[in-house]
A = this chain, B = another copy of it.
């Protein structure tokens, strides 16, 4: 898979290189899932390669890779889908927009893993250290632009499985989103409707690193290349 582009959900330091196949968090993984975490030596090469690439570039391996590795075929489909939706800046959605959709819908679903990890990614990409926290509490009075508000209104409609109507598309158009943007917003909300529920199934726990990532000014420099 890696030949058709990087498949991950983590920030990547420019110029980083995979130098090792060691997971940085080699401590006992028993607390991050209620299902077994496979040993690296038992993993197929393509999965291992992906995980190492992600870890090397981001500095640590997000637990979702370890937890979902319990089912290799589903792992491949999951990250293939994830990569198509999240790791791009095409259309009218920045990476920060995409992360904000994940935060707003995942808090609706009370998903610990996704809220903590994707609010970290939002802080990195947006360089706004408090907006995700505001959205977590109440996106209705968060310091959002009108465009962001309409984006989240639609994402939440999809998240709740509301019937989508022409009115939704009209509201999106009023702030500049076209039909392909609408698909992106909805597909992200839909994909995380799935992800949130898999996290509930496995009791997936966020890496400790996510809680504070992107909160301090010094972090901003580090991730600067990513948010574009």
Where the two chains meet, the residues of A that have a C-beta atom closer than 8 Å to any C-beta of B are: 35, 70-71, 73-74, 76-78, 80-81, 84-85, 107, 109-112, 115-116, 129-130, 133-134, 136-138, 140-142, 158-159, 161-165, 179, 182-183, 186-187, 189-191, 193-198, 200-201, 203, 208, 211-212, 215-216
Contacts and interface: CB of A to CB of B under 8 A. Distances in A.
B80 A85 contact: no
A186 B182 contact: no
13 contacts: A35-B183, A74-B84, A110-B140, A111-B137, A112-B137, A112-B138, A130-B208, A138-B163, A140-B163, A183-B201, A190-B194, A190-B201, A215-B215
Chain A contact residues, majority secondary structure: helix
B200 A162 contact: yes
Contacts of A76: 80
Q: Which 10 residue pairs of A and B lie closest in terms of their CB atoms, listed nearest first?
A: A77-B81, A190-B197, A110-B138, A194-B194, A186-B201, A109-B161, A140-B163, A193-B193, A77-B80, A190-B194
Contact of A85 (B74, B84, B111, B196): B74
A11 B146 CA distance: 36
B203 A35 contact: no
Contact of A137 (B107, B129, B183): B107
Contacts of A115: 137
A186 B211 contact: no
Contact of A134 (B112, B189, B200): B112
Nearest to A192: B194
